[in-house]
Amino acid sequence: MIKSNFHTHTCFCDGKNTPREMVLEAIERGFTTLGFSMHSFLQQDLHIVPSRDRETAYIREILALKEEFKDEIEIFLGLEQDLYSDAPKSDFEYLIGSVHYIKRGDTYYSIDGGKEKLRLVVDKCFGGDFDAFAEEYFSLVCEVAEKIKPDIIGHFDLIMKYCEQIELPESDRYLAAAKRAIKNLVPLGIPFEINTGAMSRGLRTTPYPSKTLLKFMFDSGAKIVFSSDCHNKDFLEYGFDLAEKMAKDAGFTEHGIITENGVIYMPI
């Protein structure tokens, strides 16, 4: 399997390390490719995501590192773009399309801010009905893919990040909503992440999507990308061995990597 990661956060947003520290760590671990994916600017949530100025400084920094380390590792300038953010795609070499909020009126409720916040969203916006929440969430994932046309679909089932913590099973209604979204997304040809970010935070013991959804993805003709959703250099390839095994068990034989010519697929 090609050693790579394209979902990498740094101190330019909510990550711990500088981009340079991440690059050195990736080289040390024998990575051939590293993609940076700062959170996109979102006007309504300035306390969590970066300002436009910060975005400009980030672009300058990553492009400088790309040049400096070009003989040792291939570096890509990406962005994790939220559904509700309008970043100019032309500034970046690739995009991860993600949904982090449920919107009601002018209020953006984070669904990625801890299990208490998640519970609050479900109670406040859906009367406690998690499956109704899932139905809206998965329709938003389809919307982000249509709107942004990203190169990677970010954490497809993010809402299950805390499922082990709150003992939340994948109900029939939940699975039906997820499978509908997969069926809608596969024809777009955009790979789905197998994301180990919740594992490195100690929130889950397995990557997401679950075995059930991975199998459904494979049977539906989906493509995948391994991603550590890294916020700390120590976790750059955290859980990849398990993610690889789960991918193979589901039937996948290839994983996507970003190149100068877009996503290509290599043997797992």
Residues that bind Zn ion (CB under 5 A): 80, 98, 229
* Least separation in angstroms between CB 79 and Zn ion: 10
Q: Residue 61 or 193: which CB sits closer to Zn ion?
A: 193
Q: Which residue is nearest to Zn ion (CB)?
A: 98
* Least separation in angstroms between CB 155 and Zn ion: 6
Q: Residue 98 or 196: which CB sits closer to Zn ion?
A: 98
Say how far apart CA 40 and CA 268 lie, in whole Å: 30
Q: Which of 80, 79, 93, 72 minimizes the C-alpha distance to 23?
A: 72
* Least separation in angstroms between CB 59 and Zn ion: 17
Cβ atoms of 237 and 5 closer than 8 Å: yes
The full DSSP string for 53-72 is HHHHHHHHHHHHHHHHTTTT
Q: Say how far residue 159 (Cα) sits from the centre of its chain.
A: 12
- Which one-letter amino acid corresponds to residue 263? V
Q: Residue 78 or 255: which CB sits closer to Zn ion?
A: 78
Say how far apart CA 88 and CA 98 lie, in whole Å: 16
CA dihedral 236, 265, 76, 111 (to 10 degrees): -60
Write the Ramachandran bin of 120: left for phi over 0, alpha for psi from -120 to 50, otherwise beta.
alpha
Q: Residue 80 or 237: which CB sits closer to Zn ion?
A: 80
Q: Residue 80 or 151: which CB sits closer to Zn ion?
A: 80
* Least separation in angstroms between CB 8 and Zn ion: 8
* Least separation in angstroms between CB 223 and Zn ion: 19
